[in-house]
Amino acid sequence: MTKAVKPLMPLDEACAIILSHVKPLQAVESVASWDADGRVLAEDVSSELDVPALDNTSMDGYAVRSIDAQQSGTRLHVVQRIPAGSHGVMLHAGQAARIFTGAPIPPGADAVVMQEHVATDPAQHDHIVLNQAAVAGQWIRRAGEDVAKGVVILPKGTRLQPAELGLAASVGRDRLKVLRKPRVALLSTGDELIMPGTVAPADMKPGTIYNSNRYFLRALLQRSGCEVSDLGIVADQKQATMDVLSQASETHDLIVSSGGVSVGEEDHVKPAVQALGVLHVWQIAMKPGKPLAFGWLNKPTTKAAAQPCYFMGLPGNPVSSYVTYLCVVWPFLAALQGIVQPAPSAFSLPVHFDWPRPDKRREFLRVRRNVQGGLDLFPNQSSGVLTSAVWGDGLIDVAPAQALRHGDVVSYWPFSHWLS
């Protein structure tokens, strides 16, 4: 009797299973705002003041009473000068105040006339003539229009980027409570792997390859906000593999490997993880990136509620490993860090190529935007051609068995979505 072939698992189903097992990190650190770029907030940040604190001018010019400046040609007496950082006094009928960007609006004034629309009276230098009428409220930034006192400006779970750091500084926060960075151990398997710099290209033995996955996975993990420990290339021995994994599980939140999670005689990662914890190995209905492993290693501790050390086994082919990281590991790490910001939506763009022979799996094709506003396809979509991820600037998501014709609109995900 022929054994029934198990159907491939849809990518979304695999991601849902993985995310259902995530326990977000809880350890909190206090860091200087200077050093908080890329970190994830562990607390709500509220403002203790209005920003701006007072009504102020957004332009260099003259603060006036709009009731006194109803028409062009109005002549006003300049009675004070207000630079940023100082305060003016009450403005009375027929008066104006010379004012500079950021300076508080003086009492009595309700409008600012840009200096380009004002002329100095040549006969009396302390008088001005308006070249246009003033409207109440013009060029005035109201107190609290950016931030109101007591409002949460950055919620817990926000990944801090330059704008968020500037906003925190604007309300006086020089330190922020953030989650500890995920600690990730990265390992490679395979006796065919050679590290760049150890063997010259001319001296490479037949069947050996340079370990490219180790480089881009380390960089991807760091861009995901992780502290990365490089465990190197693990020997193809079960006990050696178990020893490395057991030691790494004590001090890391996640172990990531590429290749070696299969059933071959030299593939020892799968039985090693199973001996130390739990492992799910799936064939995912995606191209590139079909083989995927997820599980966890039980840390050697007596605490029943201890955080496990998760394990993620990625395919060995470089493009498969790269795309699987973006689609699976990236959202896993976001959930591990408790990031609450929603992911941006895909762009809808037309393809400027034909894709007449679709795969039965969901495909992620490497493409690049062109000057016509469409998408060009890299000619070789093989899972071993890493050039496609360098030439391309994103992926398109093609449903199973979906052919494409020039002009069809697809979902496009720029690499910057994951790499920023």
Mean pLDDT of 377-385: 96
pLDDT of residue 364: 97
Do strands 140-141 and 56-57 pair parallel, antiparallel, or not at all (unpaired)? antiparallel
Name which of 261, 267, 265, 323 is nearest 292 in CA terms.
Answer: 261
Q: At what angle do helices 238-251 and 269-276 cross, to 10 degrees?
A: 50
CB 259 within 8 A of CB 316: yes
Mean pLDDT of 369-389: 96
Mean pLDDT of 366-384: 97
pLDDT of residue 261: 64
**Lowest-pLDDT range of 65-79, 147-161, 303-317:** 303-317
Rounded to the nearest 5 degrees, what angle is found at the Cα of 172, between the Cα atoms of 170 and 174? Answer: 110
Burial-class residue 205 by CB neighbours within 10 Å (0-12, 13-18, 19+). exposed
Domains (ranges, CATH) in the chain?
A: 11-25+181-336 (3.40.980.10), 28-49+152-179 (3.90.105.10), 56-141 (2.170.190.11), 347-419 (2.40.340.10)
More confident site: 42 or 122: 42
> Is the predicted pLDDT of residue 2 greater than 80, yes or no?
no
- The Cα–Cα gap between 258 and 296 comes to 16
Tokens of 88: 């003016």
- The Cα–Cα gap between 315 and 267 comes to 13
Mean pLDDT in the chain?
Answer: 92
**Lowest-pLDDT range of 102-106, 259-263, 287-291, 378-382:** 259-263
> Is the predicted pLDDT of residue 265 greater than 70, yes or no?
no
Predicted TM-score of the model (pTM): 0.87
**Lowest-pLDDT range of 39-53, 116-130, 349-363:** 116-130
Give pLDDT tens digits for 391-405.
999 999 999 999 999
**Residue 276 CA from chain centroid, whole number:** 33
CB 65 within 8 A of CB 108: yes
pLDDT of residue 304: 47
Rounded to the nearest 5 degrees, what angle is found at the Cα of 76, between the Cα atoms of 72 and 81? Answer: 120
Buried b or exposed e, range 358-390, using 16+ CB within 10 angstroms: beebbbbbbbebeeeebbebbeebebebbebbe
CB 236 within 8 A of CB 191: yes
Phi, psi for 377 (deg, rounded to 5):
-105, 135
CB 160 within 8 A of CB 225: no
Give pLDDT tens digits for 239-252.
888 999 999 999 99
> Is the predicted pLDDT of residue 275 greater than 70, yes or no?
yes
Residue type, 50: D
> Which pairs with CB-CB distance under 8 Å and at least 24 residues apart come from 346-349?
346/397, 346/411, 346/412, 346/413, 347/411, 347/412, 347/413, 347/414, 348/409, 348/410, 348/411, 348/412, 349/373, 349/374, 349/375, 349/409, 349/410, 349/412
Give pLDDT tens digits for 217-240.
999 999 999 999 999 888 777 888
**Residue 411 CA from chain centroid, whole number:** 19
